[in-house]
Amino acid sequence: MSAGEEQKKRTEIAFSAAHFAAVIKLVGDSAILSGLLETKRRQLISGLAELIDADGWLWTVGRVDPKRNAPMQMDMLFGGLTDHQLAALLDSPTDTTSPSPCDEPLAALVAKGKHFVRSRQQLVSDEVWYNNANTQTYFLEHGIDQCMYAITPKAEQGFSGIGFFRRTDRPPFSERERKLVEIITTQVQWLYASEAPALRGADTEKLTPRLRSVLALLLDGYLCNPIAELLHLSPHTVKGYIRDIYRHFEVNSQLALIKHFRKKATPPV
């Protein structure tokens, strides 16, 4: 081995040691964090996104729609995304005219019932991705390109998953970064636990895709006018959607709706 090769190998080993030290610290700090499970989850995913140099992330609980073979998002947390990027990612699975090219391969993996982590390149080719109308409308036009998904299937085609995203001027996620996400998300079981069992029930599935998008934003604290702006709807239309959601869940306010879905319990360690 030449002196240059030996130096390169030492550098790679040192980098790996530093990387794993950061991973151990991230998992340890998140595990001992007190408070709601949502707080622990947000800290761990934010830290993991930083480790793999992702620009944004979205955690969701949902179910695969058997009619369209596409994901239905029922709850969410997010970080690093603009409001309009978030709205675009929520709208992408609801477009029945031009579905995302990732929907079908992701649904097939969920059906296998095992945890998985896949980069976008492992799901669809560049040619399919960049020539798809859904990609162009909901991803590229909003400055999002590279994606990686870490998903744990639940019962009856349900799932809990994380999407990591990079801007359009960024390189794809590397295999090393994918493997790092796989190691952490496979071992940290509480990362995919749900605080809101009602979200997995038939009551939420009965909502239209648009109402589920409005519900997700309401649960994250958005009010009527911001929701209207994000989803490119009139405030009058959104008010009608909100009334329909309140009526559906038999609540009379946004606070009551949030309390219906959020279980205030100490998270597992």
pLDDT of 12 strictly over 90: no
- Model pLDDT for residues 55-85, shown as the tens digit of each residue: 999 998 777 766 666 666 666 788 999 888 9
pLDDT of 193 strictly over 80: no
Residue 230, SS3?
Answer: helix
DSSP labels, 82-103: -HHHHHHHHHGGG-SSS--TTH
Q: What is the pLDDT averaged over residues 20-35?
A: 58
Better-scored residue on pLDDT, 257 or 36:
257
Kind of pairing, strands 144-153 and 116-119? antiparallel
Yes or no: say if 152 and 109 are a contact pair by the CB < 8 Å rule: no
pLDDT of 148 strictly over 50: yes
pLDDT of 156 strictly over 70: no
pLDDT of 269 strictly over 80: no
pLDDT of 181 strictly over 60: yes
pLDDT of 130 strictly over 90: yes
Domain residue ranges in the chain: 3-194, 202-261
Fold adopted by 3-194: Beta-Lactamase (3.30.450)
- Listed in sequence order, the DSSP H helices in the chain are 3-32, 37-51, 83-91, 103-111, 120-123, 126-130, 133-134, 175-187, 202-205, 209-219, 224-230, 235-249, 254-261
Nearest CA-CA partner of 118 in 56, 41, 181: 181
Res 27: pLDDT: 61
Q: Does domain 202-261 have CATH number 1.10.10.10?
A: yes
Distance in angstroms (rounded) separating the CA atoms of residues 81 and 102: 20
